A and B are shown apart, each in its own frame.
Chain A
Amino acid sequence: MEKFGFTVMKERHIDYDSNDKRIAEYINEREPSFRICIECGCCSATCTTGNFTRFSLREIHILLKRGENDMVREQIMKCMLCGKCILACPRGVNTRNVIMLAREAFQKITRNAV
């Protein structure tokens, strides 16, 4: 067939119902404090990695909960696990463990298929 250079644009919206929320569920079961994040962004503000790269722990939290895993998979490898974010969190979320568990979940569930 003749190609005219037209493409179908992918919709930008988060398709919540079709997204894979297994990573978030994996974390939820093992680190219940994951649930009580209120997305204030204090963790990201204090984060050394976040001050030099696109890495944002707050954004990672929300994307995992929405099942937007592709955007998270690489990002979480940037974390240096220093734990400053835990000290800053007003809700007492064990943020470092969230990152650890996310890495683990990607290995186990999706075999880190980047």
Chain B
Amino acid sequence: MREMNARVVVIGGGVAGMETAGQLARAGCRVTLVEKNTRTGGHLNDWYHLFPDRRDSTEVLKYLEKHTRHSDIDMVTGATVESVIKNHKSLIVKIAEHEDLEAGAVVIATGFDLFKSERKEEYGYGIYDNVISSADLEKMFREGSVRRHDGRIPEKIGFVHCVGSRDEKVGNLYCSKLCCVTAVKQAMEIKKHFKNAGVFCFYIDMRMGGALYEELYRESQEVYGINYIRGKVSEVSENINNRLIVKVEDTLAGRPLKMELDMLVLMAGMEMSEGGQKIAKASGLETGGNRYFRSADHHFGSNLSRVSGIFYAGTCVAPMNITETISHARAAVMDVIDYLRNKES
């Protein structure tokens, strides 16, 4: 017996959207999951190992795929949602070059975009061959080969924290929260590839506020010998030997520091996705100063928008890790079911 007749449209087929769709279907809802790419999984498709336990990302991907293979879930891929408009008691989801969908409730799970590192021009991404982003490195790990642009093995690698986060110059005042722990994870991963490599993390603060993060940080020092230098890199240049020169204030030594590196990894932060921003604008949904969707209540209504029937799940609200995203998605499902039950009775 079907408990609820209304259809729920989930926008976005990343971790949050997939988990929301899967849980809704299990609870007896009919779900349409709309994903703009041809493939679901979102950013998870680009990661290699996940912190803090370094689990293979494909494991999580497989779980989510299995979860969403359900007779009550219609999957619409390669479709871009334009807006969600309230029409009496139902919601109309407008999709580019598609028929409109009518829904009893809509869950927005449009996620995040990675900060485009070339916007911090002083770090030389897109200018110097051996300045790469954290996503590029992750891709190298996946392909099983970490090399400089000229094919040589990097002997000295640096990580720049807070690229696109906590930086008024790029309009992002917030902390993306995950880059610190990602840098620690990637630094350790590098040492697994090259035992004798010198690895340096340039940080403002080490923000290890998650389960087992601090332990990972400690392990990176104790077992892997990762070096940490407190100070935000001001600029990067290249010398005649094709090596990178990093300028940073070593704020703990109280003096500026110069260092040559073979490779520099920029820890790109998270931003509200472009797709999400468009939907917000076209649908009249409120966003905050950080451009993410603004929830109705910080404590009790993190999944609620100000329009009844429209809900949020995952990183379209704020930066979150995968664990938090899954929890947030499940919380959204509770709110949706509660809403539909009250509506139908």
Residue positions of A touching B, CB distance < 8 A? 12-17, 28, 32, 35-36, 38-39, 58-59, 62-63, 65-66, 68, 91
Instruction: Name the A residues within 8 Å of B221 (CB-CB).
Output: 35-36
Interface pair B222/A66, CB less than 8 Å apart: no
Min CB distance B72 to A, Å, is 50
Q: Which residue of A lies closest to B247 (CB)?
A: A13
Interface class of chain B by DSSP? strand
CA of A15 to CA of B206, assembled, Å: 24
CA of A49 to CA of B230, assembled, Å: 26
Instruction: Name the B residues within 8 Å of A91 (CB-CB).
Output: 218
Instruction: Name the A residues within 8 Å of B206 (CB-CB).
Output: 38
CA of A62 to CA of B206, assembled, Å: 16
Interface flag for B253 (CB, 8 Å): yes
Interface pair A17/B260, CB less than 8 Å apart: yes
Interface flag for B255 (CB, 8 Å): yes
Interface pair B252/A39, CB less than 8 Å apart: yes
7 nearest A-B residue pairs (beta carbon): A14-B257, A13-B256, A16-B259, A36-B221, A62-B252, A35-B221, A39-B252
Given B218, B228, B250, which contacts A14 in the complex, CB threshold below 8 Å? B250
Min CB distance A114 to B, Å, is 21
Q: Which residue of B lies closest to A63 (CB)?
A: B253
Interface pair A66/B225, CB less than 8 Å apart: no
Interface pair B250/A66, CB less than 8 Å apart: yes
Interface pair B250/A35, CB less than 8 Å apart: no
Q: Which residue of B lies closest to A34 (CB)?
A: B221
> How many Cβ-Cβ contacts under 8 Å join chain A to chain B?
45
Instruction: Name the B residues within 8 Å of A16 (CB-CB).
Output: 257-259
Q: Chain B, interface size: which category? A: 10 to 19
Given A62-B250, A66-B250, A36 and B218 contact (CB-CB distance below 8 Å): yes
Given A39-B230, A65-B227, A12 and B222 contact (CB-CB distance below 8 Å): no
Per-position contact with A for B233-270: 1 when CB-CB < 8 Å, else 0?
A: 00000000000000100101101111110000000000
Give residues 71-102 of B contacting A (CB, 8 Å).
Answer: none
Given B222, B250, B253, B256, which contacts A32 in the complex, CB threshold below 8 Å? B222
CA of A66 to CA of B206, assembled, Å: 19
The interface centre, meaning the residue of B206, B228, B252 with most chain A CB atoms within 10 A of its CB, is B252
Instruction: Name the A residues within 8 Å of B228 (CB-CB).
Output: 38
Interface pair B253/A13, CB less than 8 Å apart: no
CA of A58 to CA of B253, assembled, Å: 9
Given A14-B257, A16-B258, A39-B252, 9 additional A-B pairs, CB 8 A:
A12-B256, A13-B258, A14-B250, A16-B257, A17-B258, A35-B221, A35-B222, A35-B225, A58-B252
Min CB distance B48 to A, Å, is 26
The interface centre, meaning the residue of B227, B255, B256 with most chain A CB atoms within 10 A of its CB, is B255
Give residues 167-223 of B contacting A (CB, 8 Å).
Answer: 206, 218, 221-222
CA of A28 to CA of B247, assembled, Å: 26
25 of the cross-chain contacts (CB-CB < 8 Å) are A12-B256, A13-B255, A13-B257, A13-B258, A14-B253, A14-B256, A14-B258, A15-B258, A16-B259, A17-B258, A28-B225, A35-B225, A36-B218, A36-B221, A36-B222, A38-B228, A58-B252, A59-B252, A59-B253, A62-B250, A62-B252, A63-B253, A66-B250, A66-B253, A66-B257
